[in-house]
């Protein structure tokens, strides 16, 4: 049923585990990407990720912008937490014209809402 989906979960923390559980219940295969290096958005890693068409970005907040910017043309993105930690990156994200990016974050209770 879901054979055309190539799902990648970026991050392997507690929320990632919840997403993994849901995908397993739906019998959807996925790959967990947890880079060895803190510079996890190096070109080598990004080229590897481009073979997927659905991304769950559940990595540290400071990495979200780089993943979104690099992967949004490849497929659908679900981004956990705030999409960025700073106003400059937030303004850049606003310029991305895509209806395939979804944020699971309640802006009402964040500093980003004040910006």
Cα–Cα distance, 96 to 34 (Å, whole number): 25
φ, ψ for residue 97 (rounded to 5)?
-95, 95
- pLDDT tens column, 26-67: 999 999 998 776 665 566 678 889 899 999 999 888 889 999
Q: How does DSSP classify residue 34?
A: -
pLDDT(93) > 70: yes
Least confident range from 7-11, 18-22, 79-83, 101-105: namely 101-105
**pLDDT bracket for residue 88 (50, 70, 90):** very high
Alpha-carbon distance of 73 to 65, in angstroms, equals 14
pTM above 0.85, yes or no: no
77-87: average pLDDT? 88
What percentage of the chain has pLDDT greater than the value 70?
A: 81
What pLDDT sits at residue 19?
Answer: 92
Confidence at 105, pLDDT banded by 50, 70, 90: low
* Residues in a beta bridge with 31: 8
Q: What value does the mean pLDDT of the chain take?
A: 84
Tell me the backbone φ, ψ of residue 34, rounded to 5 degrees: -135, 95
């Amino acid at each position: 049923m879901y054979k055309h989906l190539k799902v990648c979960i970026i991050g392997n923390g507690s929320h990632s585990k919840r997403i993994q559980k849901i995908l397993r219940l739906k019998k959807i295969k996925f790959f967990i990407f947890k880079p060895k290096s803190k510079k996890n958005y190096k070109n080598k890693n990004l080229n590897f990720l481009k073979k997927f068409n659905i991304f769950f970005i559940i990595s540290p907040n400071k990495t979200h912008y780089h993943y979104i910017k690099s992967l949004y043309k490849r497929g659908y993105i679900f981004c956990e937490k705030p999409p960025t930690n700073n106003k400059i990156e937030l303004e850049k994200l606003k310029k991305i014209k895509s209806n395939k990016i979804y944020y699971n974050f309640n802006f009402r209770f964040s500093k980003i809402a004040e910006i």
